[in-house]
Chain A
Amino acid sequence: MPDNTDNESRITNHESQKAVRHSPFAIRHLLLVLPLLFLALFYFYPLSAIFRVSLTWDGGPALDALMTRLFGAATLHTLGFTAGQAALSTALTLLLGLPGAYVFARYDFPGKRLLNALTTVPFVLPTVVVAAAFTAVLGPRSPLNTALMSAFNLARPPLDLRYTLGAILLAHVFYNYTLVLRIVGSFWANLDPHLEQAARTLGASPWRAFVEVTLPLLLPALAAAALLVFIFCFTSFGVILILGGPRFATLEVAIYRQAIDMGNLPLAAGLSLIQILCTLGLTVVYTRLQGRLARPLDLRPRWVTQRKPRTAGEITFVLANVGLGAALLGLPLVTLAARSFDAGLRYYAALFENPRGSIFYVPPVAAVGNSVKFALGTTTLALLLGVLTATALYHRKQGWMLDALFMLPLGTSAVTLGLGYLLVMARPPLALRGTPALIVFGHTLVALPFVVRNVMPVLQAIRPSLREAAATLGAPPARVFAEVDLPIVWRALAVGAVFAFTVSMGEFGATSMIARPELPTIPIAIYRFLSQAGALNYGQALAMSTLLMAVCVTGFVAIESLRPPGSEW
C-alpha cells in the first residue's frame, strides 16, 4: 500500500510542476531579484575583495614577504592545529552523540519533547556564552574546585582546564552534540525498524544487524553530521579565543588577530582565502559522498518506529543517555546562571553603571538595547528575503543549485565575512562601515539560510491539489498564496523568525570585526568583560551571558511549540 500512495503523490507533484511552470514563470523570477542582489552585495562583493587584496597587494617586495609568511611554518602549524582539533572534536561528538541519537530515535519517554527543545539551545548559544559557561565550570573558581579545596584543605585550585585542549574539545562537543542528535536522530527515527528486525529473524545478532544493516543505511546522515561538525569546529572562533587563550589559534582566530591586533590585512586576507578553500573542498567532498551513499529508503512515520522503553536494560540505557546529555549540556549552563548570582544582584546592577575609565563608552546594559534592535532588524529583513527566496525556489527542478547558493553563508566563517566588510564598506559605493545597518545586513546573511530552510519544506509539502482547488474555485495567484499557503506556512515563518532573532542576538565573529566600540552588542560586551581582569568584570560577563541565554532558551521553547511536523531545524 505505501508504494502505491507514494507513486500517486509523485505523479501529482510532477504534473503540477508542469502546470505551474508556464504561467507565473516571469513573476517567480522577479521574486529572486532582491535576494540575489542582497547576496551579491553583502556576500560575494566582500568575499571578492578578500581574493583581490590577498592576490594583488601592491606592496612590491612585501608580496614576497607575505607569501613567505602565508606559507610559512606558522601557518602550517595553525592549519594543523585547526584540522587536528576539528577531527578530535568531531570524533568525540559522534562517539557521545550516537547513543543519544539512537535513544531519541527509537524510544518514546516522558519529557522527551522538552528535552528535545532544550538540546537545541546550545547550538544557537553564542560562542562567548558557551566559553563563559565553561570557564565557570572548569576554571579555578568553579564550584568543583571550591568543593575540592575545602575538602582537602588546598591552598590552590587543583583543576584548571582553562587554556587547555581538553576545554576546547569539551566546548565543541557541547556545541555540536545537538547537531548529531538532530541530523542522525531524525534520519534514524524514520528508518524502517523492519529492516533491522528482518536481519534479526534471518539470524543476525543485535550487533551484527546494526553493523550489517543499520550502520550502512545511516552513513549519509553520519557523514552529513560529521562534516557539519567538522566545518563548525574548523572555523571555531569564540571558543578558541576565550577558552584556548593565547596558546591556541585556529585559522579563524589567526585571521582575527592579524586583522584586528596586528593590522595586517593582506596576511588576514590570505589566511581567509586558505580557509575558504578548505571549507569549499570539504563541502565538495561531502556532496559527492552524499550522492554515492544515499539509498532510496521508505521512511516510516515516528509512531511506527518509536516505543516506550520496557525492559530494565532499555530503561537504564535511556536514562544513562538522557543523564549524559543533561550533564553535558545542562551543567555548564546551570553553573553559569547560578554563578551570575554569586554576589547577589551586584553583577546585574553593575551592568547599569558607567564608571570612569570603563572599557565601554556607555553603560553595559546599552548593549542589550543594541542587540535587540539589531535582532529585530535582522528578523524583519531575513523574513522578507527568506519568503521571497523560498517562494521562488520551492517548486523548481533546478532550485537546488540556487538553494545551495543561499546556504553558502552558513559555511563561510563569520570573521572572514567581517574582514570582507572591513575591506569594502569603507568607501563608496557601499560606505556602510561602522553603521548599524551593516551589522543588520551581516546578521541577515547568517540568518537567511535558517528562514529558507524552515519555510521551503513546508511550501513543498503543501499538496498542489490544495492550490489548484483554490484556483478552480476562483482565487487569483496572490489570493491563493494568502488563503492557502500563508495559513499553512505561518508556523514555519514564526520558527524562522525566532531563529533569525537568536542568531542575530548571538552572532559574535562578524560583529566583532565591524561593530564600533560605542555600539557593542551583548556578545561583544561579554567578550570585553572576559578579557579584563577582576571579579566584577567576570561577574558581569556571567550576568550578561545569563541574560542572553534566557532570551535564547525562551525563543527555543517557543520554537518547539510552533514547530511544524516534519521540520528538523
Chain B
Amino acid sequence: MNAFEIEHVSKQYPGFALQDVSLTLPSGCILGLVGENGAGKSTTIRLLMNTIQRDTGRIRVLGTDVDSPEFAAVKEDVGIVLDEAYFPEVLSARQIGHVLRRLYRRWDSAVYERYLKRFGLPDKRPFKDYSRGMKMKLAIAAALSHSPRLLVLDEATSGLDPIVRDEILDLFIEFTRQEEHSILLSSHITSDLEKGCDYIAFLHQGRLYFCEEKDRLAEEYGIVSGSAAQLAALPDGAVLRTQAGPYGSRALVRRAAIGRLGELPIEPASIEDIMLFTVKGVERV
C-alpha cells in the first residue's frame, strides 16, 4: 500500500500555480520534497491534508480519498509538523499534551513524556519562550505520540543547528524501521534529504521536475567538468544541461549514455547539483 498518492493535482493562486503534480510515497519510505522557498512545498502539504481545495486531480492518503468523510479518521494516523509548529504561544508542553490527549484517540502520554525527556524539553515553560530547535522538537514529540503511520514534516529541520538536525533525522530513520511507517519531509536543505530519504521530489515554481529514488539519482547522473570544446564533444543524449563558469564549463550528464571519457572524470552529482542544473543550467542543443 502507498502512504499517499497525488495524481495530476493543480492549484491556482493569484501569482502562483501548482501545476499538474503527481507524487506517490510507498509505505515504509521517506520522500524528500525539495525546492526553493515559494516552490509549492507547503501548498502540496496543505493539499495533501485537504485544508485547501485543489482545482484538479485526486489525492489519497493511507488508502483513503481526502474528500471522503472517512478522511477525518485517517488524520489520527498522520503526524504533522509545520514550519513554525503553530502551538498556542502561552501553553506549556504539559498543557499541550493535555490538549492533544483529548484530540487524538491513540494519544500515549507515556510516549510523549519520554520524548520530552529525550529532547530535554522543559514541560512548564510557555511555548513562546522555547528556541526554534525546542519548538520543532516539541512538535515532533507531539507528532510521534499518537502512533502515526505517516509523518508529514514541513521544513521541520530548517533553522536548526547541525547537531539538532542530525538528531532529528536519526529519529525519522528510526521511525521508518517499521514497514508501515512513512515520512514526507519537505525541506530546502538538500543535505538533510540526502541523509535519510529514499525518494527525492524536486518542485520548482509550482512544477514537479522529478521524483526519483535517491540512489537512482546518484547512479543515473554525474557531473563532467572541462572546457566548452571538451563538453561539446560528449556524445549526443548524454548531456542534459550545461553551466558555463569563469574557469570552464560543467555538464550534468547521464552516466549510462556517456561511455568512457578518457581523461575527463565523472564526479557524483548531489541533489543540489541536479537542482541547480535543472533550474539554472542550459539545455544542450
Q: Do A and B bind each other?
A: no
B residues neighboring A (CB under 8 Å): none
